[in-house]
Structure 1
Amino acid sequence: MAYIGKEPSFGAFEKDIFTGDGSTTQFTLTHTVASATSIIVSLGGVIQEPGSAYDIAMVSGVQKINFASAPANSVRCFVVYLGRQQIVQARAATDTTPTIDTFTGGSGTTAFTLSRVPQNPSSTVIAFVNGVFQKYTTNFSISGTTITFTSAPETSAVIVVVHLSTTNEVNLGSPDDNSVGTAKIQDGAVTNAKATFTYSSSYFTGDGSTTAFTITTGHTVNSILVTENGVLQKPTTDYGVSGTPLTFTTAPANTVQIGVRYLVV
């Protein structure tokens, strides 16, 4: 299927797919995002409004998409990331080597302070109590440098927390100011997170006769996503843009909710 709008020339536009069960409202995202507007979310083919239909939540150090209402049973949900950084920032030197923290249980204590903040604790931290493996999220959680057990380890219990190496990179420090030219920057490396781009939206309501609506200046049909009641519209076929007017081929019906998502230009 062809890309609707301007085809991206760089970056990684990756996707997560989930299936609703009628009760679950939170699903774990594969990649970290800056905000709800950094992803496009569809339920059963209908685009969802960020901040209203869903938002982003951090649960026990894991980023999740949180729906206002649980997706219905068997409904297919997909999440498209609006550009993901293809290189990673060098970690602190302490993250490049494994380390072990040890504690002793007692007095009903459930929280202990780790020696460093784990990166992606679900996959880089292993915990044992008296030699018994503990399962992340089930038996313990991590927030910052604090590991919290679901149940307090018994008095004198030996607690061992193993931090695995999170990267093979070596931190070479920072280049001098004004020393890096554009030729040295990898294509796609300057992302929303690094350039502080923002994704914004406009919303209108159809009345059955109006075809033109005023949008933010500086955009074309290729730099906006337009929906009617959550259904994505096709640029040039369903609407056009000339300056600030967004003009529909056919006037949106009365009370139809019109959404305009502005992409970075």
Structure 2
Amino acid sequence: MRELEVILGLDNSQRMGGMDPLAHMRKLVGEGKVSQEVFDNFEQVSSQPSLNDVLTDWLGRTPINGSISSDTGDDEVISQFVEGHLDAMKLHGETVISHIVAIGHGDEEPVRAKIEAGIEGARTFLMPDGEINRSRAGLLFIESYRELPLLAWPRKLIDTIVDLEQSMLLFRSHHARMVERMIGRRMGTGGSSGVDYLDATLKYRIFVDLWGVRTLLVKRDALPDVKNNDFYGFAQS
């Protein structure tokens, strides 16, 4: 499982105590608990780009409104897309606020605070260091305009990767419950905290952006029209 996590790209910062799996494996070799051959293979795997690395790089090359990263003026196109999406979120938020207040499910002030916090969170997601993250912008574009022919298979790939991680999460949950049913809350056979450790791994997320982008999505009819839509397989009107 640990080798699979490395191949997929689980960040060590998510591991309990920030554990470095390669350093841990090296320690096990020194203790005679793991063979040198197994360690060498693990070290080789760890030295390669992970699936998450490759995916992030690929998303960064997504054509957004017909512009690719090497095009002159791409930065401006991406900036306009991001600001347009944030504006769409604001307009949609006003509709949500009016609806919730109208049906008596909340007062405007606390609801507005939640909506505005969500929009600010979206801005932080898209511009984590004050600069637009093109990979995240590309991901948002694919998810927002998934009906475009050219984006159909990228969206399918993204969904498949989310399915993969969801399956891993379900496996972790089932494994934890099986262990709890067998040995309760006693210490694990490898010296870990047992079920408590297994439950902690349920928080792991490898493809963080693929999950996070869903918070930013707005219904299609509230989004700006795609520019250069012929680029994606639509004829110009």
TM-score tier (shorter):
under 0.3
Structure 1 or 2: more helix by fraction: 2
Larger Rg: 1
Structure 1 or 2: more strand by fraction: 1
Q: Which has the higher contact order (CA 8 A, sep 6+)?
A: 2
TM-score (norm 1): 0.24
